[in-house]
């Protein structure tokens, strides 16, 4: 049986990822802020996932990361 504390922690993490995804979706590749893109990478989102949220190509996200000096984040 999963403890209530663990369940609450998982739900909180899911909520944070959902809200981050929702916020990112309000931007375009040209308007996304560096700190938001960095947070997405730190939380484990890949360029392909971010591209889907921004309705652009994965290569555009890669180029934007390079432009903003955001390196790949390995978890």
Task: Confirm whether 37 is domain-assigned.
Answer: yes
Report the domain count for the chain: 1
Contact 49, 61 (CB under 8 A): no
Task: Confirm whether 61 is domain-assigned.
Answer: yes
pLDDT in tens, 40-73: 999 999 999 999 999 999 999 999 999 999 987 6
Task: Confirm whether 59 is domain-assigned.
Answer: yes
Task: Confirm whether 74 is domain-assigned.
Answer: no
* Residues 6+ away with beta carbon under 8 Å from 60: 29, 51, 54
Identify the domain containing residue 8 by its residue range: 4-67
Task: Confirm whether 55 is domain-assigned.
Answer: yes
pTM of the predicted model as reported, rounded to 2 decimal places: 0.84
**pLDDT score for 75:** 57
Task: Confirm whether 24 is domain-assigned.
Answer: yes
Residue 35, pLDDT above cutoff 90? yes
């Amino acid at each position: 049986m999963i403890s209530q504390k663990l369940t609450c922690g998982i739900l909180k993490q899911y909520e944070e990822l959902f809200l981050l995804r929702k916020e990112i979706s309000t931007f375009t590749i040209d308007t996304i802020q560096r700190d938001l893109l960095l947070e997405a990478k730190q939380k484990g989102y890949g360029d392909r996932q971010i591209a889907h949220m921004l309705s652009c190509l994965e290569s555009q996200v890669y180029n934007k990361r390079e432009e903003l000096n955001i390196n790949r984040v390995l978890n």
